[in-house]
A and B are shown apart, each in its own frame.
Chain A
Amino acid sequence: MSHAANAHDFLRDPARAAWHDQTLWMVRVKRDRQAAKVPDWEALREAASQIKEHTLSRLAEYLEEFESRAAANGIQVHWAADGEEHNRIVHGILARHGVRKLVKSKSMLTEECHLNRHLEEHGIEVIDTDLGERIVQLQRKPPSHIVMPAIHLKRAEVGEVFHEHLGTPRGLDDAQELTEAARQHLRRQFLTADAALTGVNFAVAETGGFVVCTNEGNADMGAHLAPVHIACMGIEKIIPKQEHLGVFLRLLARSATGQPSTVFSSHFYKPRPGQEMHIVLVDNGRSRQLGREDYRRSLACIRCAACFNTCPVYRRSGGYSYSYFIAGPIGSILAPNVDKAAHGDMPFASTLCGSCSAVCPVKIDIHTQLLKWRQEITAEGHAPWWKTLAMRVTGLVLKRPALYALAGRLARHFLPLVNLLKLDPWTRSRALPEAPGQSFREWLAETERAKPPAKNPPP
């Protein structure tokens, strides 16, 4: 289904849609407040943008530097060209250790690679330990938001999910009680897991270390208890130096949730004695995007989701209205890199208001890239024929003054009828203006005829 059709369904319940809009808008407001407290916020964004730009221009060098430092620290480094290889590598490690249960902290990359499905097919139980992600996992649904995976659910609905899957009493609707139930449930999982998998927010080339940011400490619980820790990262997560963390960590939490910092920013350097630590570096289309001049800056993304929260379309259509696992503005410029035909509608699910680009902590020109994708998707024939026809006719009429004047007169003539019938997507909800008797140009021509000729002709 297209984004427009999904959005239509989402908006069938206006009260709920308004709640979704307001909930995410409040996150944007919190972001504004926190950003305002940082002197030179705009300079910080600029610094982040330049660091990322530089890194992307030498990605291979920094990745190799990272690989050798990490290996020297005792981390086993793996390279995966695509999602399938990533899944194979992870499964291989787990199989070698006879792992039956894996606890996983939030990682959009493993969503991208469909790791859970792959491991479950091989008989390994996967427990997502980020609370929001656990909730949608129990529902067997993907996250609707990259930072707050279950933001589309109301508390009572979470109560229902817990009742069904965790055996809590029916009708639980209290945040404290729900969190406690989740805590007890997850604690059992942490204690009985054979391995832990985490995402990576930043990997530092100069140290070979990496940083994982969470609010719940679930990455740490998993990684510190399990004998095997696997960290999976897209190759764009690399930053050159340790000191650059100071730039990104200040931007990330403020942009994401309006917190001055995430509750846990955990730095991993080497396995503890007796533990095995692995890192899987995944390409999966990233080097292709890097080669597309117009879109390479999309790889600077630090997945803060500020562009989601600010996007008026996302807020009013929800994460599930987008066909790609990353929704919102950034998803809409990443998805066509993967499959233009399957996600061809995503770059059109935007008014191009530019709020995403203005809020983005690494200054990605998101709305410009959306517009560029539109051209490419249309040129490759992924637009409906009637749209192409309509645009060709419009282009033709607007180029010919006589035809344009005639079309304008006709349009004004039929306008009251169109307004009355309310058959098209515009007039179903919106009136067209009352048809003026005269166009501006007609008025001007008449006025100028009535005037005595000007003494100085225009240049």
Chain B
Amino acid sequence: MTLGLFIPCYVDQLYPQVGRAAHSLLCQLGHEVVVPARPACCGQPMSNSGYASLSEGCVADFRAEFDRFERIVSPSGSCVLHLKESLEAAHHPLAHRVHELCEFLHDIEKVTSLPARFPHKVGLHSSCHGLRGLGLGRCSECLAPEFSKPAKLLSLVEGLELVTLERPDECCGFGGTFSVFEPDVSVSMGRDRIRDHAGHGAEFITSADMSCLMHLGGLLAREAPQVKAVHIAEILAGCVAEQRG
């Protein structure tokens, strides 16, 4: 099918390799992938900071450009959650056609194999918006059977070993503009996360949300450069080696 691919602003500008990986992965699965020029952002930075009215333009742009697609995919759980919630609040049916990448691969595409190989120890960071917001997995507060769509997809990657974490789904402390308005708490939370991952032998930290990885990766670069942050799309598309060596 023809998919609309939504690449959010910060991924577009700072992590083009994540956009390329998502694009390549969806193409490999036989889809035609279209990236409309216009909406650069989902509007979440404004909305989370208390300026929801300023984010309405972004959501309107999104609606205008993406309404023509049967399915829209984005490699950013947080942005997808914000779009879904905004569209749902407006009772717009598009809300149900926007998918986070893992959700699309797991629920719609139902992939059972992937042509990727990644012989490394990997820590999965379950981003809060993906986990508790989009329901990509079961959160640890909830007394329901355990599942995780991203983990299931990663299990299809040859050679990849997921490490067990002490706090499997504690927030990394990014929180959008929280990361700059509350830098001390934000950094303290991030440090605890990377310690958990590195302490359990992870060589890579991956997530379905690049925003968490921007924060964690920023800390890793300063404090534990032997561990790298990579987006799950890069691993699933088999693009990491090509990008990061």
- Given A35-B143, A359-B141, A441-B37, A313:B182 Cβ within 8 A: yes
> In the bound complex, do residue A399 and residue B50 qualify as a contact, i.e. CB atoms below 8 Å apart?
no
- Given A351-B174, A352-B128, A439-B13, A375:B52 Cβ within 8 A: yes
Q: How large is the interface on A (under 10, 10 to 19, 20 to 34, 35 or more residues)?
A: 35 or more
The reply to whether the CB of B58 lies closer than 8 angstroms to some CB of chain A is: yes
> In the bound complex, do residue A401 and residue B37 qualify as a contact, i.e. CB atoms below 8 Å apart?
yes
> In the bound complex, do residue B51 and residue A441 qualify as a contact, i.e. CB atoms below 8 Å apart?
no
How far is A412 from B45 in the complex, measured between Cα atoms in Å? Answer: 19
The reply to whether the CB of B77 lies closer than 8 angstroms to some CB of chain A is: no
Which residue in chain A gives the minimum CB-CB distance to B174? A351
B53 proximity list for chain A (CB < 8 A): 379
Within 8 A of B (CB), among A337-371: 348-355, 357-359, 371
- Given A355-B139, A431-B218, A411:B13 Cβ within 8 A: yes
Within 8 A of A (CB), among B16-69: 16-20, 23, 32, 34-35, 37-38, 40-41, 43, 45-55, 57-58, 61, 68-69
Interface size on B, residues (CB 8 A): 76
The reply to whether the CB of A452 lies closer than 8 angstroms to some CB of chain B is: no
Which residue in chain A gives the minimum CB-CB distance to B179? A426
Which residue in chain A gives the minimum CB-CB distance to B61? A399
What is the distance, in angstroms, from B16's C-beta to the closest C-beta of chain A?
A: 4
How far is A166 from B14 in the complex, measured between Cα atoms in Å? Answer: 61
> In the bound complex, do residue A430 and residue B171 qualify as a contact, i.e. CB atoms below 8 Å apart?
no
Q: Which of A35, A425, A440 contacts B7 (CB 8 A)?
A: A440
> In the bound complex, do residue A354 and residue B133 qualify as a contact, i.e. CB atoms below 8 Å apart?
yes
How far is A383 from B51 in the complex, measured between Cα atoms in Å? Answer: 10
The reply to whether the CB of A268 lies closer than 8 angstroms to some CB of chain B is: no
Q: Which of A3, A42, A351 contacts B175 (CB 8 A)?
A: A351
The reply to whether the CB of B150 lies closer than 8 angstroms to some CB of chain A is: no
- Given A316-B189, A458-B32, A408:B13 Cβ within 8 A: yes
> In the bound complex, do residue A399 and residue B182 qualify as a contact, i.e. CB atoms below 8 Å apart?
no
Contact with B along A436-459 (1 / 0, CB 8 A): 101111111000000000101011
Within 8 A of A (CB), among B184-198: 184-190, 192
Which of A310, A387, A433 has the most CB atoms of chain B within a 10 A radius of its CB?
A: A433
B54 proximity list for chain A (CB < 8 A): 391-392, 394-395
How far is A232 from B170 in the complex, measured between Cα atoms in Å? Answer: 37
The reply to whether the CB of A301 lies closer than 8 angstroms to some CB of chain B is: no
B217 proximity list for chain A (CB < 8 A): 431, 433
B128 proximity list for chain A (CB < 8 A): 351-355
The reply to whether the CB of B87 lies closer than 8 angstroms to some CB of chain A is: no
Within 8 A of B (CB), among A369-384: 371, 374-375, 377-379, 383
Which of A3, A11, A425 has the most CB atoms of chain B within a 10 A radius of its CB?
A: A425
> In the bound complex, do residue B13 and residue A312 qualify as a contact, i.e. CB atoms below 8 Å apart?
no
What is the distance, in angstroms, from A119's C-beta to the closest C-beta of chain B?
A: 37
> In the bound complex, do residue A7 and residue B132 qualify as a contact, i.e. CB atoms below 8 Å apart?
no
- Given A42-B144, A353-B175, A387-B49, A458:B34 Cβ within 8 A: yes
> In the bound complex, do residue B142 and residue A42 qualify as a contact, i.e. CB atoms below 8 Å apart?
yes
> In the bound complex, do residue B180 and residue A426 qualify as a contact, i.e. CB atoms below 8 Å apart?
yes
Q: Which residues of A are at the interface with B, using a C-beta cutoff of 8 A?
A: 3-4, 7-8, 11, 14, 17, 21, 25, 32, 35-36, 38, 41-42, 310, 312-313, 316-317, 348-355, 357-359, 371, 374-375, 377-379, 383, 387-388, 391-392, 394-395, 398-399, 401, 404, 408, 411-412, 415, 424-433, 435-436, 438-444, 454, 456, 458-459
Q: Which residues of B are at the interface with A, using a C-beta cutoff of 8 A?
A: 2, 7, 9, 11-20, 23, 32, 34-35, 37-38, 40-41, 43, 45-55, 57-58, 61, 68-69, 128-129, 132-133, 139-144, 167, 170-171, 173-176, 178-190, 192, 214-215, 217-219, 221-222
18 contacts between A and B (CB under 8 A): A3-B182, A11-B185, A42-B142, A351-B173, A351-B176, A352-B178, A355-B128, A358-B132, A379-B53, A391-B46, A395-B54, A411-B13, A426-B218, A428-B183, A431-B221, A432-B14, A440-B16, A444-B35
